[in-house]
Amino acid sequence: MSSIIKWISMIVAGIVLLLVIAAILLPKFIDPNHYRAEISKLVYEKTGLTLKINGSISWSLFPWLGLAIENLSIAGIQHSKLAELDSAEVSVKLLPLLRKKVEIQTARFTGLDLNLIRHKDGHGNWEVGSSKKHQPNKHSVAKDISSNKTKKTLNLKLDIANIEISELNIRYNDQQSENLYLINLTNLVTGAIADQKPFDLNLNGLVSSKKQDLNFKVSMHATLTINPKDGIYSIDDLDFTAQPDLTDSEQINLTGNLHIQQQPLLVKGQLSTSSINPQNFLTQIHIKPPLIANTTSFQRLAVESNFESDGKSITFHTLNLALDDFNIKGSLNIANNKKKTTTFEFVGNDFNLDHYLPAASTNTDQTQEVKSNKKREQQPITDGKEPPLIPENLLKDLDINGSVSLASLTVQKMKFERPSITLTAAAGHSQIKLKSEFYQGSINMDSQMDFNTPGTPKLSSAATFKSINLQAMAESIPTLKIVQGAVNADIKLNTQGQVQSILTKNLNGTVRLSIDQGAFTEANFDKIVCESIAQIRKKTLQKKEWAKSTQFQDLRGSFIIQNGVASNKDLTATLSNLNLKGDGVINLVEQTLDYHVGLNIRGDGAPDSDPACQINADYIGVTWPIRCQGKIGALTCGIDSDRLANTIVDLAKKEAQKRLKEEINKNAGSLKKILKGFFN
């Protein structure tokens, strides 16, 4: 028995020895360089690509099945140069193949040049046209189907020591966009690659775009895990950087993790960018930064997200944005439908929108803007002096349902505290609802925009104000400086147009308001009434110092606005010594005011202590007319000469009636004596 085992062992050892000798001797006697033509023919038949091996081919058989090749070139359609390779070395361990395991020693590729061309007709030079020569026949199709079934049953294990690619150059000529892209990777190295086991990937290089004259230095480090059998790939610890190839250029740093599933397609992960200066970055990539009102803004931008996508829709479970000192975070979903319905919910701190609105343009800029606007389809007509306030083309196709809550929001110099904004948009119609604390009071507003008439958006708004401090609000809206106090108002407005002047001219609506404990800041009505009384009495005022404003306890009224002109007929107010009634017109288009105020004195005292305007009972209840007119912010108020004449007539009538009564009373005494004597 032992002798049998001995003989078997000797036979096995002999076979192994013969295999080793064959592995050593076969490469000596079989030269693969003799089969270049056959290799090129086989490649052409299978792919339609033309392969030329201009250098030497060497190979080894044991213990590694190795192949080394030099100076290789591949031509695409119409013999266009597609790829060139200086050298490549790949070795596969022979015995593990018997166990369905692929063990590859370091795979090295040097000097790989790819020349990719996308022609104007959309075809690429790497896309080989079909021909009978390499079209599969029925038998080959059946064979392929059979082999595919066999492949599904195979469970090959992949094990690569590492991959090294140096001097990889990719030239992509996109003739459709007339742009040329160059990618030069000086070094691409991986760690040990195995199924479902993480390995490192490192690369460095330069990416260029000739049309934009851009050069980007890029580098990447990541840990990859691949599972080709299940079509699952993971990228962990991603650290990608890109920066313009300039001195002191802005660097974009992207970090995070990605998980990719092929069937069904699913991409999810966490990605974040480092903080960059967007103004500098846009300048460095030859894009003119937007001209914004505040030149110190748009200096910092960073994004952080947790997302997933099926290639058609995308959901950001968390999306954090940092823009200068403004920080906002929330969630966002863009649905897979024709309208790309968007839903979102965000919470942020203080945001000043005015800082990012377009800056005032020079006349030259305005002329150029008008010329460029003529080229745009369905652009609103402007006079070239005002920028459009409403981005109609951006807003009209929106399909949105979302909400934003902020610590504060500044728009057109008006500051909203703790605003809550709800936005809906669909079918060319948008609605914005706002609830906010507003200048020591509150505001509840519902605004709507209709973009179904190109170039002429229609706007409407209904708002309720409660206890708004006009003095504080006047810092943002100077036209309100003429009145102080806490205002309550119900406002309904509508307009249409694109620029400020047109929107104002088309403004219509109603305003009902009341103001408690306020003041008229640009007129002292006590002084004006005193001057009127002194004028009638032909006296001169002795007092030189007068207050500049008039206090009141309550003011109420309503305005009807037509084509930018607000008219009022029912203004009433209760002053300290006077009652006020008013009517007039506020022209918002011309920014002018022409307002009539009627004042009458309550009680029997004078409105002030100046002797020239001391009054008696005859003047109590008389209406003293005042007129304020001029540019808003530079009003002049004085006696209303036209209406004063009516007042004088009324006083004259009153005086005549008084004297007639006195005469009647005087004569009545004599008449009594006559009658008394007559009856006695």
What ranges make up the beta strands (E) of 440-591? 441-450, 458-469, 483-496, 508-520, 550-562, 565-575, 578-587
Mean predicted confidence (pLDDT) in 206-226: 90
Binned at pLDDT 50, 70 and 90, residue 417 comes out as: very high
Q: What's the pLDDT at 317?
A: 97
Per the model's pLDDT, the better-predicted residue between 281 and 359 turns out to be: 281
Q: What's the pLDDT at 652?
A: 67
- The label of the residue with tokens 């006349």 reads 363
Binned at pLDDT 50, 70 and 90, residue 662 comes out as: low
**C-alpha to C-alpha distance for 130 and 134, rounded to whole angstroms:** 7
Residue 43 has pLDDT above 60, yes or no: yes
Residue 279 has pLDDT above 60, yes or no: yes
Percent of the chain with pLDDT over 70: 77
User: Cis before residue 278, ω within 30 degrees of 0?
Assistant: no
Residue 121 has pLDDT above 80, yes or no: yes
Least confident segment among 486-495, 523-532, 592-601, 638-647: 638-647
Give how far Cα 564 sits from Cα of 502, 505, 559, 571, 611, Å.
9, 5, 12, 19, 45
The sign of the dihedral angle between the CA atoms of 132, 133, 139, 140 is negative
| Pairing between β-strand 199-209 and β-strand 179-190 as defined by DSSP bridges | antiparallel
Q: What's the pLDDT at 676?
A: 42
Residue 496 has pLDDT above 80, yes or no: yes
Per the model's pLDDT, the better-predicted residue between 516 and 361 turns out to be: 516
Residue 363 has pLDDT above 60, yes or no: no
Mean predicted confidence (pLDDT) in 381-385: 50
Least confident segment among 352-356, 551-555, 616-620: 616-620
The sign of the dihedral angle between the CA atoms of 498, 503, 506, 509 is positive
Binned at pLDDT 50, 70 and 90, residue 127 comes out as: confident
Residue 84 has pLDDT above 70, yes or no: yes
CA-based R_g, the chain, Å: 44
What does the block give as tokens for 348? Answer: 């942020």
Binned at pLDDT 50, 70 and 90, residue 315 comes out as: very high
Residue 13 has pLDDT above 60, yes or no: no
**Residues whose CB is less than 8 angstroms from the CB of residue 169 and which lie 6 or more positions away in sequence, other chains included:** 112, 113, 114, 182, 183, 184, 185
Least confident segment among 13-27, 186-200, 205-219: 13-27
Residue 462 burial (10 A CB sphere; 0-12, 13-18, 19+): middle
Residue 445 has pLDDT above 80, yes or no: yes
Binned at pLDDT 50, 70 and 90, residue 329 comes out as: very high
Q: What type of residue is 328?
A: I
Q: What's the pLDDT at 661?
A: 63
Q: What's the pLDDT at 106?
A: 77
635 CB-side CA count, 13 A: 28
What pTM does this model have? 0.70
End-to-end alpha carbon distance in the chain: 185
Give how far Cα 140 sits from Cα of 19, 101, 128, 136, 579, Å.
34, 27, 19, 6, 105
Q: What's the pLDDT at 598?
A: 83
Per the model's pLDDT, the better-predicted residue between 101 and 4 turns out to be: 101
Q: What's the pLDDT at 619?
A: 64
Residue 350 has pLDDT above 80, yes or no: yes
Q: What's the pLDDT at 45?
A: 80
Per the model's pLDDT, the better-predicted residue between 110 and 229 turns out to be: 110
232, 263 in Cβ contact below 8 A? no
Residue 61 has pLDDT above 70, yes or no: no
Residue 199's Cα: distance from chain center in Å? 39
Q: What's the pLDDT at 77?
A: 72
Q: What's the pLDDT at 97?
A: 64
| Pairing between β-strand 57-60 and β-strand 81-93 as defined by DSSP bridges | unpaired
